[in-house]
Structure 1
Amino acid sequence: MPAESPAAVWVRIYHNNSAIGSAFLAGHTVTEVFAYAAPGGVHDFALAEEAFDVFGDDASEPGSDPRVLEYRSCGNRPMVPGDVVSVEDRFYLNHMLEWRALVEAPVIEQAAVPGTVPLRIPPTRSQDDIVALRADYAAATTGSPSSIRRFKPGQIVEARVDGGDWKQYSYSSDAAGIHWVRDDPLKWGQEYPIENEADIRACPGG
């Protein structure tokens, strides 16, 4: 009888509310901004390192990793030193290029600011506030107005590519606020940028 694969684990990304790009210190609070399932049986440090590699400064190319597109489309900045990663209920920070376990879990204070959009919207903020924060961050980082993401990554939408006919595509977006559509939602098909808001729409009934 084949051995069962280890159960998947939850990896969560937290932005440091108290300092950006510097060491995490006692008393700093964090905001949970992203979560995803990862394969079990992998050392926590390896999962934390992967998270930092995937969502850090170098992870900005569209299509490089579907998780990057989703993370950035939420309006979140790249991960930097001082941010925190958790694997299940175990918390880790990057210190001098090494991963260290936090003895105590950090205080989670869901603060919404440009570049940090809470995974769970705090009761003091409305959905409109969150959409505005995403737009503010995109405008600040690109120098141009942001397109508001009204679609979810992987959602089937209708779009016109290069002025052609309306067709159905799989949707994604990047940190600059550009819509991207893929012609084969089941595979890594050809991707096309949609820069005109008038050239993308929800499917009828969607």
Structure 2
Amino acid sequence: MVFSDHPSYAVGGHHLSISAAEIARGTTVSLDRAELEQDRVDLLTPVTPSARTVRVRVFHNTSHAVMADGYVVTDTFVEVYTYDEPAVDPDISDIQIAERMFYLFNVGDDPSHGEPDVHAIEYRSQGNRSLSKGDAIAIDGRFWVCDSAGWTLISTPRFTASGQHGSTPLGDPHGQ
């Protein structure tokens, strides 16, 4: 038996926590080798953060000058599509998600680019055009605008409920 007046004591590479009062009362601790080995394995197994669900929203810019001028803060946006992206690796950045969205909502419905994505098919079937320069996306409430190359984080933009050709407002019965 191993005694100590310290509340914890390393025994055979394992750390036991037993108070002095428990020892004084004669408390016994059964050490099952298999259980200790499993505890050791559990402690050595790296903890991987679990995947998360990401709320994705797509907004088309309604400015007619956006292709020439790019996004300006006075532009308005119409929400055209939204979905939850399940099982997103916690190490994936917003930019990586944005790049995936750009791909999906440009060629993701085209079988010549691989297996068509259900969200891309639904997006296009609602009459929506390709995601383009000046359009915005929201990832869990963070807004990003598509630049000529890449993405820029923006504050919450101005919204409108009116679409235009190729931009079917979310919930529009004509888009479904």
* 1:18 and 2:63 are equivalent in the alignment: yes
- Structure 2 residue runs of 5 or longer lacking an equivalent are 1-41
How many pairs were matched up?
123
Match of 1:50 among 96, 100, 108: 100
* 1:61 and 2:121 are equivalent in the alignment: no
TM-score w.r.t. length of structure 1? 0.54
1:21 counterpart letter in structure 2: M
Aligned-residue offset at 1:4? 5.1
Match of 1:98 among 139, 144, 150: 150
* 1:115 and 2:153 are equivalent in the alignment: no
TM-score w.r.t. length of structure 2? 0.62
| Bigger RCO (CA 8 Å, 6+ sep) | 2
How far apart, in 1, do the equivalents of 2:139 and 2:133 lie?
17
In 2, are the aligned partners of 1:16 and 1:82 still within 8 Å (CA)? yes
Aligned-residue offset at 1:60? 4.5
Counterparts of residues 43-192 of structure 1 (less than 5 Å) = 43-56=93-106, 58-62=107-111, 64-102=116-154, 104-121=155-172, 127=173, 131=174, 134=175
How far apart, in 2, do the equivalents of 1:17 and 1:40 lie?
33
SS in 2 for 1:81: coil
Q: Which has the larger radius of gyration?
A: 2
How far apart, in 1, do the equivalents of 2:97 and 2:67 lie?
20
Aligned-residue RMSD, C-alpha: 2.1
How far apart, in 2, do the equivalents of 1:40 and 1:21 lie?
33
Runs of 4+ off more than 3 Å: 1-4, 19-22
How far apart, in 2, do the equivalents of 1:9 and 1:40 lie?
10
How far apart, in 2, do the equivalents of 1:120 and 1:25 lie?
26
Relative to structure 1, the CA distance from residue 95 to residue 117 in structure 2 (aligned partners, 3 Å threshold; closer, same or farther) is same
How far apart, in 2, do the equivalents of 1:59 and 1:21 lie?
22
